């Protein structure tokens, strides 16, 4: 992952086609070890390809990957949010009701 991140940082830094040396230099600047095998593998896979196109293609592929769980769990709908708010309001009402009943308990006379 760090090799890919270093490659993308090189692209963001203005290198249209980063080299293995560019990646090694970025990794060395942050004190990370450069694994030559991983760097060479990445370089062979992206050789002659546009990084922006690779990212766009990857995003399309990720769109079809299930993210586990329902849509409401990933991004709550308006109904789920309003239900959560209603539950929270009920909890607050119960707390307020307890406070009111506590006040009533203090109205007794100790000497009766």
Range in 13-17, 44-48, 75-79, 104-108 with the lowest mean pLDDT? 75-79
Give me the domain span that covers residue 91: 77-102
- If one compares 53 and 107, the residue with the highest pLDDT of the two is 53
69-97 tens-digit pLDDT: 665 544 544 555 555 555 566 666 665 55
Q: Which helix (H) or strand (E) holds 55?
A: helix 51-63
Residues 91 and 50 in one domain: no
CATH number for position 41:
1.10.10.1410
What pLDDT does 65 receive?
A: 87
- Give CB contacts under 8 A, 24+ apart, made by 32-37: 32/2, 32/6, 34/3, 35/3
Which pLDDT value is given to residue 67?
A: 80
Which of 103 and 34 is assigned the larger pLDDT?
A: 34
Asked if the structure places residue 84 within a domain, the reply is yes
Percentages (nearest 5) of helix, strand, coil residues in the chain: 70, 0, 30
Overall number of domains in the chain: 2
């Amino acid at each position: 992952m760090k090799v890919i991140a270093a490659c993308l940082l090189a692209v963001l830094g203005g290198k249209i086609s980063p080299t293995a040396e560019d990646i090694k230099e970025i990794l060395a600047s942050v004190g990370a070890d450069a694994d030559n095998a991983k760097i060479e593998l990445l370089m062979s896979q992206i050789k002659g390809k546009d990084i922006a196109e690779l990212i766009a293609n990857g995003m399309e592929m990720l769109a079809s990957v299930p993210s586990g769980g329902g849509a409401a769990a990933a991004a709550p709908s308006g109904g789920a949010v309003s239900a959560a708010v209603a539950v929270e309001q009920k909890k607050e009402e119960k707390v307020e009701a307890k406070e009111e009943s506590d006040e009533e308990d203090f109205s007794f006379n100790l000497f009766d």
